Amino acid sequence: MRVGVKVVPRPGSLAQETYVSALVDGLGATMRHFFQNLLSPREKSQVVTVQYPEERTVYPPRYRGLHRLMTRDDGSVRCVACMCCPTVCPAHCITIVAEDTGNPAEKRPVIFEIDELRCVVCGLCVEACPCDAIRMDTGVHATPVEQRGNAVLGKIDLLKRGALSTATQGGIGGTWRDAQPPARDPREPGLP
């Protein structure tokens, strides 16, 4: 039994094989944008370039910013080294080394470091923290550094940005349902 080879011609024309039509289309789009930007004046609201030292970008109200550690009433760090934040961090940028406090029910961090260059600013560490020890509400963006080690913020650096936490442990309490308006029946007239 002989095996034969069947030669199948390529579909398309010479222009498609040499990519001339695609090249002309791409250059046409480039030239159209070039002359449109060159000849039509833009409004100030359309300009995206910010003259940085003179102008500052206004951050949105939900901008996270750099991390900070919160303190208790006595000035100690609120972190109890539960390891929730390094566990949930997708970038693995948080390092915590725990030490005993003398109280068998509680620990504290002897080392608390965050590598801001590895951080993806997701905020999962803030959500995972059960004692409101870490926040990302500084509104400050990471500063440029010459060496990578300068971007690793330690416990003292993070505490300098922190302030006394005003959060109440456990939220608003078990009576939160009493403060809510009563639920309405969806079959009541006047509701969509």
Give a yes or no: residue 168 inside a domain: no
What average pLDDT does the chain have?
A: 82
Select from 112, 69, 77, 108 the least CA-distant residue to 94.
112
User: Residue 96 is part of a domain; what is its CATH number?
Assistant: 3.30.70.3270
Cβ atoms of 124 and 89 within 8 Å: the answer is yes
pLDDT tens-digit readout, 91-129: 999 999 999 988 888 899 999 999 999 999 899 999 999
**80 vs 90: CA distance, rounded Å:** 21
**Could you give the CA distance from residue 169 to residue 69 in angstroms, rounded to a whole number?**
16
Residue 92 lies in a domain: yes
Residue 152's nearest CA partner among 114, 125, 110 is: 114
Domain limits for position 114: 68-161
Q: Which tokens is 137 given? A: 């509400």
The answer to whether residue 84 is domain-embedded is yes
Number of domains in the chain: 1
172 domain-assigned: no
pLDDT score, position 142? 82
Within a domain: 16: no
**Within a domain: 57:** no
Is residue 93 within 8 A of residue 118, CB to CB? The reply is yes
Does the model's pTM come out above 0.75? Answer: no
pLDDT in tens, 144-174: 899 999 999 999 999 988 765 555 545 555 5
Dihedral angle, C-alpha 106, 94, 126, 90, nearest 10 °? -130
Q: Is residue 38 a part of any domain in this protein?
A: no
Instruction: Give the residue-averaged pLDDT of 29-37.
Output: 91
